[in-house]
Amino acid sequence: MQAKKYSRTEFISFLGKVGLGAAIAPSFLVACGNNSTPILEDLTNDQLNKLKDFVLEHLAASDIDDLLLTNGLNYSTLLKWGDKISDEDSFGFNCDFTCFIPLDDDNPKDGLLWVNHEYINSLFVSDYDYTDINQARTIAQVDKEMYNVGGSIVRIKEIDGKWEVVQNDPHNRRITAKTEMSFNWDTPIKGASIAIGTNNNCSGGITPWKTFLTCEENYDICYGESVYEEDGSVRHIDSFYGWEKYYDYPPEHYGWVVEIDPKDGKAQKHVALGRFAHECCTLFQLEDERVVAYSGDDSNDEHLYKFISSEPNSLKDGTLYVADTENGKWISLDWETQPILQEKFTDQTEVLIRVREAAKLLGATELNRPEDIEIDPITGNVFVALTNNKGKGDFHGTILKIEETEGAYDSLTFESSVYLAGGEDNGFSCPDNLAFDLSGNLWFTTDMSGSAMNIEDGPYMPFKNNSLFVIPRFGEDEGRVVRVASAPRDAEFTGPWFAPDGKTLFLSVQHPGEQTSDLNNPTSLWPFDEDNIPKPSVVAIKGDLIEKMNQLNKIEGKV
């Protein structure tokens, strides 16, 4: 059965305007991002009227090297690459997923920020010119690179309306490519129960028990990949960074979902969720406290997965499924019950390590690069950004909607539909990270690759720099795609995350100046500090526009 397709102008119909009466259940908010019950003030009529009068303005596409915001928004730079977070540690490179957990549920203005550091640009980080094939990396260069990936835990506080880093707070620490972490699995992975480090931490998620999830995406660029041949031999494909020359770690130790305890930084890799280019991991907790975890494999023609735990609050005991979106079925990847898997693999551990092959054997649907996944706080439907698949002629991307049967997240059947999201009619291309705010408006970022943007006569020319958009769900602007921020040159916005009171949007600015080939002449200078080089950074965005969007359901009287 072909999934229903919605045109670019049918966003509201696609989203579904169903209200669930008292609507926004806190448990949905666990799933959609913010882990504490939203702390929204009751506004006076005057305040509501002021926000109601505020006009949402569309920011024009721009190729200017700056972070531009539409009317009603302002930003401050919270953390830049290289900033000290403690006497020992500094903030890593290419920030991606952010999430915030208050230390005390009653105070949304003091808590721990997690930030992914996805990958490095060696020109900036280790002074290694990757365009010169005659130059070999030294171990000192590799060590610098390994320090600059992984993630950061940083305590931040909002003081007089401005977010600030709490320097040297005992929670502040780095997780890097050298941090030891265990596998949450009873069978060793390539002979080991401990892995060294995490890398390519792209997007992530949060658990109902208040820990961070960080997802290993393009892990093969660090230590390469193993190819399992039909004759039983294993072939190694070299990595792009060449770290395996000095650190010969098995590729099988990477490509997992990693959980970090914010309190002590303890990390573990969740084998049960499978090994692939994990973009994100979005959790929902069932009434009996079992969890459902959705995760997409962001590579051309790869798949969408969901794990359903058999025990409360477990990311180990349970079954992994892969989506057949054509027939609306979740296909089990359980070795015990799938004879096709028994023919090819020796046990469940091998299935999970080589889960892409297992998924294809069982007829999973090939998708156009699943990126971020969010659960709509209003309808409970699951949204997956399919960013593009140039090989299949999809340059601008779509959004996939999964409606689980009877709204049950542990259902093994579903209906799917597709919104033709990107394209000139809507003014954006390549949707990537998604975030719902407290009124259920959809915010999203785009990721056109740095080398393809602003190229004359190229498919991405009309869209100029990558941007942040919002699509209001109610009111006079409902269904309109509004650009609210434009990124510095070559950059992509990543990791949008609302503070629990809904008044701040944390956002990463990843890879500004990525196309630089000469350090003395970088293609971007943002954030314009004294070092005169571009620096990936996290910003805190505030303003009337965010406040209006968060109150839109009240202003419009819809909930």
Rg for the chain (alpha carbons), in Å? 22
Interface residue with ligand FEO among 118, 145, 259, 350 (CB under 6 A) is 118
Interface residue with Ca ion among 83, 252, 372, 501 (CB under 5 A) is 372
CB within 8 A of 55, min separation 6: which ones?
71
**What span, in angstroms and rounded, lies between the C-alpha atoms of 214 and 179?**
14
Burial class (CB in 10 A: 0-12, 13-18, 19+), 215: buried
Q: How far is the CB of 445 from Ca ion (least distance, A)?
A: 8
Burial class (CB in 10 A: 0-12, 13-18, 19+), 159: exposed
Nearer to Ca ion, 170 or 458 (CB): 458
Interface residue with Ca ion among 259, 297, 404, 432 (CB under 5 A) is 432
Query: H-helix or E-strand containing 216?
Result: strand 212-216
Nearer to ligand FEO, 96 or 404 (CB): 96
Nearer to ligand FEO, 158 or 279 (CB): 279
- Check binding of 202 to ligand FEO (CB under 6 A): yes
**Of all residues in this chain, which one has the CB nearest to ligand FEO in the complex?**
202
Nearer to Ca ion, 304 or 361 (CB): 304
CB 115 within 8 A of CB 97: yes
Nearer to Ca ion, 213 or 333 (CB): 213
**What span, in angstroms and rounded, lies between the C-alpha atoms of 179 and 173?**
11
- Check binding of 447 to Ca ion (CB under 5 A): yes
**Token digits of residue 480:** 């309109």
Interface residue with ligand FEO among 371, 410, 490, 514 (CB under 6 A) is 371
Q: How far is the CB of 322 from Ca ion (least distance, A)?
A: 20
- Residue 217 interacting entry, from Ca ion, ligand FEO, none, C-beta within 5 to 8 Å by type: ligand FEO
**Of all residues in this chain, which one has the CB nearest to Ca ion in the complex?**
447
Nearer to ligand FEO, 98 or 285 (CB): 98
**What span, in angstroms and rounded, lies between the C-alpha atoms of 473 and 137?**
51
Nearer to Ca ion, 432 or 547 (CB): 432
Number of residues that bind Ca ion (CB under 5 A): 6
- Check binding of 273 to ligand FEO (CB under 6 A): no
Nearer to ligand FEO, 83 or 302 (CB): 302
Within residues 217-246, the interface with ligand FEO by CB under 6 A covers: 217
Q: How far is the CB of 301 from ligand FEO (least distance, A)?
A: 14
- Residue 539 interacting entry, from Ca ion, ligand FEO, none, C-beta within 5 to 8 Å by type: none
Q: How far is the CB of 511 from ligand FEO (least distance, A)?
A: 10
Nearer to ligand FEO, 118 or 410 (CB): 118
Burial 494-530 (b: 16+ CB within 10 A, else e): bbbbbbbbbbbbbbbbbbbbbebeeeeebbbbbbeee
- Check binding of 279 to ligand FEO (CB under 6 A): yes
- Check binding of 302 to ligand FEO (CB under 6 A): no
Nearer to Ca ion, 430 or 552 (CB): 430
**Token digits of residue 451:** 């080398």
Q: How far is the CB of 297 from Ca ion (least distance, A)?
A: 12
Q: How far is the CB of 279 from Ca ion (least distance, A)?
A: 6
**What span, in angstroms and rounded, lies between the C-alpha atoms of 362 and 44?**
57
CB 367 within 8 A of CB 287: no
From residue 177, how far is each of 24, 190, 269, 294 by CA, in Å? 39, 18, 13, 25
Within residues 8-37, the interface with ligand FEO by CB under 6 A covers: none
Nearer to Ca ion, 85 or 442 (CB): 442
- Check binding of 298 to ligand FEO (CB under 6 A): yes
Number of residues that bind ligand FEO (CB under 6 A): 6
**Token digits of residue 15:** 């989203």
Closest CA to 355 of 297, 412, 411, 280: 297
CB 180 within 8 A of CB 194: yes
Within residues 471-510, the interface with ligand FEO by CB under 6 A covers: none
Distance of alpha carbon 84 from its chain centroid, rounded?
Answer: 25
- Residue 372 interacting entry, from Ca ion, ligand FEO, none, C-beta within 5 to 8 Å by type: Ca ion
Q: How far is the CB of 492 from ligand FEO (least distance, A)?
A: 9
* Contacts of 68-71 spanning 24+ positions with Cβ under 8 A: 68/485, 68/486, 69/484, 69/485, 69/541, 69/543, 70/482, 70/483, 70/484, 70/485, 70/545, 71/545
CB 509 within 8 A of CB 535: no
- Check binding of 118 to Ca ion (CB under 5 A): no
Which ranges of 194-338 would DSSP assign to H, the alpha helix? Answer: 220-223
Q: Which residues bind ligand FEO (CB under 6 A)?
A: 118, 202, 217, 279, 298, 371
Q: Which residues bind Ca ion (CB under 5 A)?
A: 371-372, 432-433, 435, 447
